[in-house]
Amino acid sequence: MKWNDVRNNYPEKFVLFEIMESEKVGDKEVVDDIKVIEVYDNGKDARNAFIKKKPNQFVYSTKNERVEIEIVKYVGIRRNV
């Protein structure tokens, strides 16, 4: 489902979803197509879903015009021995 369709179907809601299609633009991943898993009316329920979500799932507000996820590279920790 396209993000604009999600926004039209679920205005002023929070959505738990999986990314189906996206593209990398600079240091962000711009999501084009998603699979809606659950819809929440309030922030408290969305926060609880965020805490329990699986690694490939995201919680986002439909107030946002686009879904952009910042790509963070894991640097790790070095230690000199």
What value does the mean pLDDT take over residues 12-34? 91
pTM: 0.80
Which residues touch 36 (CB under 8 Å, ≥6 apart)?
A: 1, 6, 10, 15, 16, 17
pLDDT at 74 over 80: no
Q: What is the pLDDT of residue 81?
A: 64
Of 7, 14, 32, the closest CA to residue 22 belongs to 32
Q: Residue 55: what pLDDT?
A: 84
Q: Quick check: 79 pLDDT over 80?
A: no
